Amino acid sequence: MKLREPRQTGVRRPTDNDEVYYGPVTLKPTVAIRRDPLDELVVPDGTEAKEVALETDGDVLVGARSTVEFGVRGRNVLAGENVEFGGDIEADGDCRLDMWCDVADNVLVGQDAYIGERVHIGGKLKVAGDLDIGDDVDIEEGFEANGWIVIRNPMPTIVLLFVYLKHLLVIGEEDTAQRLISQLVDEDDDEQPSTEPLVIPRNASVGDEAWRVSTPATIGDDCRLHGNVRAETIDVGADCNVFGSLRARGDVTVGPRTRIHGDLTTRNGDVVVAEDARILGDVSSVDLELGPEAEVDGTIRADGEISMGTTERDPE
């Protein structure tokens, strides 16, 4: 491994007495999973895409073979195989990077880090807790870990555990989810917010110019994003600012008081623009529904029906 001399309390290889096993994980859910939860772009409430980083209060899950041109900042950051990050990774909790990931700058971890084999980090790796690391890891500016350093080959990611947890909550299996939570986070950590994770699906490309996915995209409330959004369907929440256009094959929904600084286009779907929302560009759709006080600054092209809501007046 291309590693400089670390600062740590101990370095060891795993023994037969280790209680934690990072071998292949087999999940046997008690219910049928109809859809892979990673097959959707999910941007939780309050997410902000700044010039150098994508920031969220919750976890960040990135599917395999995706490119994130930003750095990322979140609670726990987990990435599948062969994911590229264009900036720093800052995780308040754990950071887990699967094999062949590439990080352009530093990786700063508030708790434990799990780094798979052949990962490349262009800056420093700083870990406040323990470090699990695979072979052939390249850290250009060295690393520091305050806890144990354990060398394993290979170290598979546990992203699937987080994805499975999210699915259990969606389908109402709260008891099963709670048992998983006790293994993944500290149960007495009451100060951490209950926030939906930021999910970037497999083979996605996310950057300042465009967010390209071949899956549905859901953007929460109070988000501020830069870049054109390209997805199968798009659902944007309330009070958002998207500095780019929206383009989808299917339906597009824009929430109340949201501003889209670009065109809104769908190939075969309908468009709903909620009350007091504004599209600062053209709109092209099959059917178009405009809520009360909704505005479209550009040209409207609708092959089907156009309906406009009206504001209810108070009785005199």
Residue 298's domain spans which residues?
A: 216-308
Is residue 21 situated within a structural domain? no
Is residue 48 situated within a structural domain? no
pLDDT level of residue 52 (50, 70, 90 thresholds): confident
The CB density around residue 81, as the number of other CB atoms within 10 Å, is 19
Same domain, 169 and 231: no
The CB density around residue 281, as the number of other CB atoms within 10 Å, is 18
Are 287 and 271 in contact by the 8 Å Cβ rule? The answer is yes
pLDDT level of residue 308 (50, 70, 90 thresholds): confident
Exposure string over 196-235, b if 16+ CB within 10 A, otherwise e: bbbbbbbebbbbbebbbbebbbbbbbebbbbbbbbbbbbb
Identify the weakest region by mean pLDDT among 23-32, 33-42, 101-110, 234-243: 23-32
The pLDDT of residue 264 is 97
Same domain, 83 and 146: yes
Q: Judge whether residue 39 has pLDDT over 80.
A: yes
Q: How many domains does the chain have?
A: 2
Pick the more confident residue, 26 or 238: 238
Q: 284-291: long-range contacts at Cβ-Cβ below 8 A with a sequence spacing of 24 or more?
A: 285/252, 291/256
Is residue 35 situated within a structural domain? no
Q: Judge whether residue 312 has pLDDT over 90.
A: no
User: Mean pLDDT, to the nearest integer, of 291-301?
Assistant: 95
Is residue 205 situated within a structural domain? no
The pLDDT of residue 268 is 93
pLDDT level of residue 180 (50, 70, 90 thresholds): low
Q: Judge whether residue 24 has pLDDT over 80.
A: no
Is residue 295 situated within a structural domain? yes
Same domain, 116 and 180: yes
Is residue 18 situated within a structural domain? no
User: Mean pLDDT, to the nearest integer, of 249-264?
Assistant: 97
Is residue 168 situated within a structural domain? yes
Is residue 24 situated within a structural domain? no
User: Mean pLDDT, to the nearest integer, of 216-243?
Assistant: 96
User: Mean pLDDT, to the nearest integer, of 88-114?
Assistant: 95
Same domain, 61 and 172: yes
pTM of the complete model: 0.76
pLDDT level of residue 33 (50, 70, 90 thresholds): very low
Same domain, 105 and 164: yes
The pLDDT of residue 215 is 95
Same domain, 291 and 169: no
The pLDDT of residue 35 is 45
Same domain, 164 and 68: yes
Same domain, 235 and 165: no
Average pLDDT, the chain: 81
Task: For residue 235, give the amino acid letter.
Answer: D
Note the pLDDT tens digit of each residue in 267-287. Answer: 999 999 999 999 999 999 999
Distances in Å between the alpha carbon of 310 and those of 246, 254, 275? 25, 17, 9
Same domain, 63 and 182: yes
The pLDDT of residue 135 is 86
Q: Judge whether residue 25 has pLDDT over 70.
A: no
- CA proximity to 1, closest of 125, 159, 157, 147: 125
